[in-house]
Homo-oligomer: A and B are copies of this chain.
């Protein structure tokens, strides 16, 4: 919750032939995707070939006032982006969508994911004369597509030809003067789906909850490796890169996605509830109440309660104004820091044996504080369960987990040691076998590299992601 995983990005695109308020639609969609990135956001509108864009650090409702939306003007096509980034990289040059002006046609891109060969591609392009303004992979992708575009007969052909160059995770939305294109890497690491409105607008989004927010109904997921093109003539698909083994990030179901989203045919809420049920089967505990750590532990707690028959309770109240920046507690108040965001409900836990479920443990410090909250509120026993296996390996495909030496599952050797450090009476993780089964109907394969160290795509050599921020001497 405080030291947790950082989602990387959310993307959205709309082609609405019958309405020109695409800026507002994109605004509402980004608002629905806000949980995927709170650091910066942006919208690019295509007004019959003229591109207008705005991007800035901050949350969607802060960055886009009604004045700012009006400045984006009317249009029948738009793309948008929400982004998380570590502090050092929070500069405007990295904000998206990226708008590229080119003699072959303007282009705007929004990207969720992470390339594993961006350093190599970048170096190659630079040695051929290219220049880069920021440090994001998106700029690398833009170069790859633009280079392909010089020879390709169309923008979608250029995307198709560029894709074999790009290794790693990318769910892309690309806008040209007359086309809106969605593309997903051949492994399908990050989700991307398509919807449509009753009026015939075509919509692409990272998650289906964004479709709902603009009144679109879900059509289908973009297939791993697929390119979908929406134009005035309709929608068509390019599937030359489809067919390989897929590897959707399983952590999308555990933590990242919004519970009301449906990914690969599987409800996220239901997947989390199933994770809780599997936990109940794997870790049966005699207890009086099952509670979840808000917000992402709640569904699993409900699943555990249903499976076990132990009553579900509301053990914590989360301050619903969380998310805004606020001042840091001073030295004397540090111990109570967690209480500002999260408070235990004494009447629910007092004198009880409590099962507390969270989605993951990163460093362990927050878990320890939360366990202490329950003890202070009178819990007799605290059994902590985690609805995913222990984090032990880095993610190279778009999720910013902590550095390995800070991960509690790397620092400590056994679950018992972790429980001891957390102050819990017992601790249990969901097994690897079970986490692979939480998404009931999902027909796809999963990437679980963060738990196993085995990745669908070879991870990059020891090239630190932030190398470009480091000292570079001539």
Contact = CB atoms under 8 A, between A and B. Distances in A.
Interface in A436-474: 468-474
Interface in A174-194: 176-179
A246 interface: no
A150 B177 contact: no
A367 interface: no
Contacts of A470: 50
Given A147-B129, A260-B317, A327 B66 contact: yes
Contact of A215 (B104, B213, B336): B336
A345 interface: yes
A196 to B, nearest CB: 15
A69 B327 contact: yes
Given A259-B314, A329-B24, A319 B32 contact: yes
Contacts of A472: 49-50, 101, 105-106, 177
A31 interface: yes
Given A314-B259, A339-B213, A130 B133 contact: no
A321 B59 contact: yes
A295 B321 CA distance: 13
Contact of A50 (B34, B131, B471): B471
Interface in A119-165: 122-123, 126-135, 142-143, 146-147, 150, 154-155
B327 A64 contact: yes
Contacts of A99: 93, 133
A262 B346 contact: yes
Contacts of A102: 126, 131-132
Interface residues of A, number: 112
A100 B213 contact: no
A232 to B, nearest CB: 12
A241 to B, nearest CB: 22
A324 interface: yes
A65 B66 CA distance: 15
Contact of A103 (B59, B127, B133, B214): B127
Contacts of A413: none
Nearest to A52: B91
A343 interface: yes
A319 to B, nearest CB: 7
A392 interface: no
A363 interface: no
Nearest to A199: B332
Given A131-B143, A176-B474, A314 B339 contact: no
A298 interface: yes
Given A311-B306, A314-B259, A473 B327 contact: no
Contact of A321 (B55, B61, B346): B61
Interface in A334-366: 335-336, 339-340, 343-348
Given A24-B329, A101-B134, 4 more contacts: A34-B319, A61-B324, A103-B122, A269-B317
Query: Ordered nearest first, which 10 A-B pairs have the shortest CB separation?
Result: A267-B347, A61-B326, A49-B471, A105-B474, A260-B317, A215-B336, A103-B126, A61-B324, A129-B147, A66-B327
5 contacts: A21-B330, A28-B336, A48-B471, A100-B132, A129-B150
